[in-house]
Structures are given as structure tokens and as C-alpha cells.
Structure 1
């Protein structure tokens, strides 16, 4: 899983001047904090997905790929 994550980062970073990579990093941060506070990695992933969804709901033009990139950030917490 870590190998595929590492391979996916350049693809995410190549999109929109690191925009997707920023979403991924935000999802990883949210997931890490929630997992540390609750001791529940599933809650961390759900928080990352929720934050991605909420962020896109307030954008003028929602991008489902941004939600996906943010949600995928939880894979870092699951891998470690």
C-alpha cells in the first residue's frame, strides 16, 4: 500500500500546481490528529473524507477529485 501511495503522489502533485497534493496533505493531517485523539483510525479516515466533502461544498465549483485526494490522505495514517 505504501508503494502505491508513493507512486500516486507525483500524479497528484502534477495536477493543478500541487493542488491535489495539498488536499492529500490536509487529509493526512486531519486523519492523523483525529486518530491520535480518538485512537480510532476509521474515525480519522472518516474525518478526512468529511473535511474534503465540506470544503468542496463551500467551493464555487466542486471537484470530486479533490474529495478523493483529501480522503486518500488517511492512507498515510493507516500505513503507519
Structure 2
């Protein structure tokens, strides 16, 4: 799934989606390490992405997707 998503993310505006992906990976990694539960890490990444978009002036669902996909990187390591 990650291999399919990366070309779509790279076509997006500059580094915004890459930053969202990295933030999702970081949040997921930290929560997974603290709880020992990878599902909690992924849910935290998705939750942080959704909350961030709620406070933005213009919400972008692709940003939530990019942040949520970051958990796949955290699961790999």
C-alpha cells in the first residue's frame, strides 16, 4: 500500500504531504513505543492528522491521508 501511495504523494504540492507523512510516522512510532500497540499508533497518527485539518483554514483530506499513511513507515521499523 505504501509503494502505491508514495507516487501520489510526491505529485502533490511541494513537501507538504511529505511533512504530513513524516509527522504521522513520528506520532505512530512514539505512541506504539509507549503503548506497545501498533493499532493505537496508527489511530493516533490518523487522529492527529484529522485534528490538524480541523484547525486549518482550508482542510485537505489528502493531508489526513498522508499523515495516516505515516503509520505504515512506523510499523516497518
**So what's the TM-score if we normalise by structure 1?**
0.86
Segments of 5+ residues of structure 1 without an aligned counterpart are none
* Equivalent residue number for residue 48 of structure 1: 45
| Corresponding position of 2:21 | 24
Contact 1:24 / 1:70 at 8 angstroms: preserved in 2? yes
Structure 2 segments unaligned to the other structure (5+ residues): none
Aligned to 2:11: 14
Residue correspondences, number? 77
For the residues of structure 1 that align with 2:30 and 2:4, how far apart are their CA atoms?
24
Q: CA deviation at 1:50?
A: 0.3
TM-score w.r.t. the length of structure 2 is 0.89
Aligned-residue Cα RMSD (Å) equals 1.4
**In structure 1, how many angstroms separate the alpha carbons of the residues matched to 2:40 and 2:23?**
15
Question: Which residue in the other structure is 1:62 paired with?
Answer: 59
Cα distance in 2, alignment partners of residues 78 and 21 from structure 1: 17
